[in-house]
Amino acid sequence: MRIEAVFQIFAALAVAVNASPLSLTTRHVVHERRSEPPPRWSRHTRLHPAATIPVRIGLAQQNLHRAEEFINEVAHPDSPDYGKHWSKEKVADMFAPAPETVDSVKEWLHSSGIDPSRIGMSRSRNWLKFDATVAEAERLLKTEYHLYRHEMGHNHIACESYSIPDHLTEHVDIVTPTVHFDTRIGSPRKTMKHKNLPEPVLELNRMAKRDLATRPLHGLLGSELDASNPKQGAEIKNALMTLANCDTMITPACLQALYDAPPNTLSMPNNSLGVVEYTPQAFLQGDLNMYFKQFSPSQDGVSPDTHLIDGASIQTKNQSFNFNGESALDLEFAMTLIFPQQVTLFQVGDLVNGGSFNNFLDALDGSYCTFEGGDSKDPNIDGQYPDTMPGGFDGPEACGTVQSTNVISTSYSSNEADLTAKYEQRQCLEYMKLGLQGVSILYSSGDFGVAGNSGQCINPVTGAYNNGSSGIFNPSFPGTCPYITSVGATQVLNGSTVRSPESASERVIFSGGGFSNVFPMPSYQKSALATYFANHAPPYGADRFNNSQTVRGYPDVSANGVNYVVAVDGQFSLAFGTSASCPTFASLVNMINAQRINAKKSPVGFLNPTLYANPQVLNDITVGGNQGCGTQGFTSVEGWDPVTGLGTPNYPAMLDLFMSLP
């Protein structure tokens, strides 16, 4: 009650002192809306009107309608320009928003009382950014901001919907923070120059700060509750090295045998393999050493080349499979498979905020986030970092300061339905831009079959998540982004050897797969999906998935994801997941790049157009399914399917193919 009362007094003050009130003639239209908070989040207190939030406006970019044409130029095997990747500058110039877009949005801000001197702009003119009081942002966007609280205690600033003037809808992609729950907004930690605020308002600001300071020491992606973490199996007392046991224990030698990949021998400059981890997920050097002693003795003591992004740390305080399993699995297998080539670990997010996929993209691409002349020293323009909360990272947000690797493997995923379509489209286009620059981006497809993380599906009436016993299939993101390579999981059947065909994973985890509710079908999938629907039409209607045959299907490829022997917290145990298959596939792509670089060719970059045009370089998987949502899910069949994609790597065939390209 007290907060409301003071709010009203302050709102009246704010209007009285505002020099240039909003034009009353501008007609606003709803730009984005979310019906209810994501699972486990609930709406908490209304934000204090004098608190400050960092507002970012993502401007509509030019030439995006040509994105597929451009990517095919550099990534389609029939293109004369295959492998001729673009520079960062060429990418930024091609997609920079039109001057008219920049001008009209700036004009709106100015006429709404945001002085141009407060507005920062990205080098590529992609984003406008300024700090605003909650009262200002609420008036600008005709919305109300609340603090949302996660079950685990994490806080987030959001609103249910927001509006912008109707003449700007074509010019603005998204505004943050608003309805999105992926962005990690620290806190309304700095007030602008409101030195003359009445004491009750200042006291409420202090209260809000104390409230925010109670956040637990982690974000969500990479936390011990992240459902994209690998699943733990039995403890292994004696890790067996023979190929006879690959149906119960997967070792690097099993993978090399399954995919006919020789131990790597080449190490090329600038060809490190990128592996992304999100804090507080962390590796322990002792685990790596334990693993290497068993499987690759010459690597004992070797560490990944670690890049700490946005105040990241490799925490050792909390140790358990859920805190260490993902990093151990990814690093132990990738480092062994590609040795003597190095692995680069991109560790993202501090212990307070955690990180999001966008934080990582910001670090790689200055044109996605930097502001004229780099990050401003002005605290009114700085973004989420520095974070002044206790224990928070107080350096500047990483922004175009991190050199990308040729291949990036990420074993984390969320659901498409966690985020808004506009947000996902914008992030997906960022992967397209990395593809143009020759980077291969691989994501795990999820471990819950046609269901989303934790096995949740979508209630067809309310759109909310349910317990997974019924409902609409729940595809994963970024798995459905057409500019990444989505990796599903397979298994060696009980009693089978590495010489017999694998099946889709049906042990502990089911390969994430299905059809997007956001992204249209890319041209490279046209023929594969037409064949799939013609020969193997799935037994479900539009009440389960978008069966229009015009949307993106996933995964693209797969690799073994069952029974990986991993050293975690000082013991060997089994791990399961597309978390395992993704770095395995990425390791083989890294080895192919080494051969191409050695032959004075460019790295392969975006893989999908070449793989879909040459499905013979993958071992087709035709057994198994990916159950979920109370159904058997989809079934692995001859040709591409939404369980195992085109199949698992046939390394010699893949190598020959990519070496034959310019």
Ligand X SMILES: *[C@@H]1O[C@H](CO)[C@@H](O)[C@H](O)[C@H]1NC(C)=O
Active-site residue numbers? 326, 330, 579
461 is a site residue for ligand X (CB under 6 A): no
- Which of 423, 404, 406 has its CA nearest to residue 415? 423
Q: Give the integer Cα–Cα distance in Å for 126 and 132.
A: 19
User: How many of the other CB atoms lie within 10 Å of CB of 548?
Assistant: 10
Among the listed residues 111, 294, 318, 602, the single contact to ligand X using CB under 6 A: 318
Q: How far apart are CA 152 and CA 224, in angstroms?
A: 11
Q: Other CB atoms closer than 10 Å to residue 456's CB: what's the count?
A: 22
Instruction: With CA atoms as reference, report the closest residue to 403 among 375, 354, 428, 437.
Output: 437
Shorter beta-carbon distance to ligand X: residue 8 or 548 = 548
Which of 301, 391, 395, 520 is in the footprint of ligand X by CB under 6 A? 520
* 20 to 59: interface string for ligand X, x by CB under 6 A: ----------------------------------------
Contact residue for ligand X among 1, 17, 461, 542 (CB under 6 A): 542
Least distance CB 224 / ligand X (angstroms)? 6
Single out the residue of 117, 265, 316, 548 in contact with ligand X (rule: CB under 6 A): 548
- Could you say whether residue 546 binds ligand X (CB under 6 A)? yes
For ligand X, which residue of 551, 562, 565, 643 counts as binding (CB under 6 A)?
551
Min dist. Cβ of residue 80 to ligand X (A): 24
Q: Mask: binding to ligand X, 169-188, rule CB under 6 A, as x and -?
A: --------------------
Closest approach of ligand X to the CB of residue 609, in Å: 21
Q: Which stretch binds ligand X (CB under 6 A): 383-391, 426-434, 449-457, 545-553?
A: 545-553
Provide the strand spans (E) within 279-330: 305-309
Place of tokens 């879909």: 612
Per DSSP, what are the bridge partners of residue 201? none
Tell whether omega for the bond before 652 is within 30 degrees of 0, i.e. cis: no
Task: Tell me which of 117, 316, 467, 616 binds ligand X, using CB under 6 A.
Answer: 467
639 labelled ligand-binding: yes
| Nearer residue to ligand X within complex by CB, 144 or 569 | 569
Q: Is the peptide bond before 198 cis (omega within 30 degrees of 0)?
A: no
User: Would the annotation count 166 as a binding residue?
Assistant: no
Kindly tell me which of 20 and 467 has the beta carbon lying closer to ligand X. 467
Residues 443, 274: contact at Cβ < 8 Å? no
User: Bridge-partner residues for 278, per DSSP?
Assistant: 348
Q: How many CA atoms lie within 13 A of 505 on its CB side?
A: 35
Please report, to the nearest 10 degrees, the dihedral formed by the alpha carbons of residues 61, 62, 64, 66 taken in order.
-170
Task: Find the shortest distance in angstroms from Cβ 295 to ligand X.
Answer: 22
Tell the smallest beta-carbon distance from residue 203 to ligand X (Å): 30
460 touches ligand X (CB under 6 A):
no
Identity of the residue, 492 or 528, whose beta carbon is nearer to ligand X in the bound complex: 492
Using the minimum distance from each CB to ligand X, give the nearer residue, 268 or 302.
268
Residue with tokens 């403890």, as numbered in its chain: 235
Q: How far is the CB of 141 from ligand X (least distance, A)?
A: 27
Map the footprint of ligand X across residues 421-450, applying CB under 6 A.
none
CA distance 288 to 327: 10
Phi/psi region, residue 459 (left: phi>0; alpha: psi -120 to 50; beta: rest), is beta
State which of residues 317, 372, 394, 652 lies at the interface with ligand X (CB under 6 A): 317
Q: Per-residue contact track with ligand X, 402 to 421, x per CB under 6 A? A: -x------------------
Residue 104 vs 560, nearer CB to ligand X: 560
The binding track of 211-230 with respect to ligand X, each residue x by CB under 6 A or -, is: -------------x------
Q: Which is nearer to ligand X, 42 or 403 (CB)?
A: 403
| Cα–Cα distance list, 347 to 16, 336, 358 (Å) | 47, 19, 13
Place of tokens 């889709």: 504
Q: How far apart are CA 618 and CA 636, in angstroms?
A: 14
Q: β-pairing, 305-309 with 343-348? A: parallel
Q: How far is the CB of 78 from ligand X (least distance, A)?
A: 27
- Residue pair 276/360 in contact (Cβ under 8 Å)? The answer is yes
Position 270 contacts ligand X (CB under 6 A):
yes
Of 51-59, 251-259, 542-550, 649-657, the segment contacting ligand X by CB under 6 A is 542-550
Q: Does 550 bind ligand X (CB under 6 A)?
A: yes
Helix/strand/coil for 440:
strand
131 annotated ligand binder: no
Distance in Å, CB of 404 to ligand X, minimum: 9
Residue count at the site for ligand X (CB under 6 A)? Answer: 15
- CB of 114: closest distance to ligand X in angstroms? 36
647 is in an annotated binding site: no
Task: Kindly tell me which of 551 and 618 has the beta carbon lying closer to ligand X.
Answer: 551
Position 240: which residue type?
A: L
| Both structure tokens of 430 | 């960022």
**Cβ 273 vs Cβ 587: under 8 Å:** yes
**What residue spans of 321-398 are helical by DSSP H?**
321-338, 357-364, 366-369
3-state SS assignment for residue 64:
helix
Taking CB under 6 A as the rule, which mask of x and - marks residues 468-497 in contact with ligand X? -x------------------------x---
Determine the residue type at 485.
T
Binding pattern for the stretch 84-123 against ligand X, x by CB under 6 A and - elsewhere = ----------------------------------------
Q: Which stretch binds ligand X (CB under 6 A): 103-111, 124-132, 435-443, 548-556?
A: 548-556
The CB-of-494 to ligand X minimum distance in angstroms stands at: 4
In angstroms, the CA 144 to CA 613 distance is 49
Residue 87 exposed, middle or buried by CB count within 10 Å (0-12, 13-18, 19+): exposed
Cβ atoms of residues 145 and 158 within 8 Å: yes
Distances (CA, A) of 501 to 14, 257, 268, 490, 491: 69, 12, 33, 10, 9
Of the two residues 152 and 243, which places its CB atom closer to ligand X in the complex? 152
User: Residues within the annotated binding site?
Assistant: 620-621, 639, 641
Q: Which residues bind ligand X (CB under 6 A)?
A: 224, 269-270, 317-318, 403, 467, 469, 494, 520, 542, 546, 548, 550-551
User: Residues within the annotated binding site for Ca(2+)?
Assistant: 620-621, 639, 641
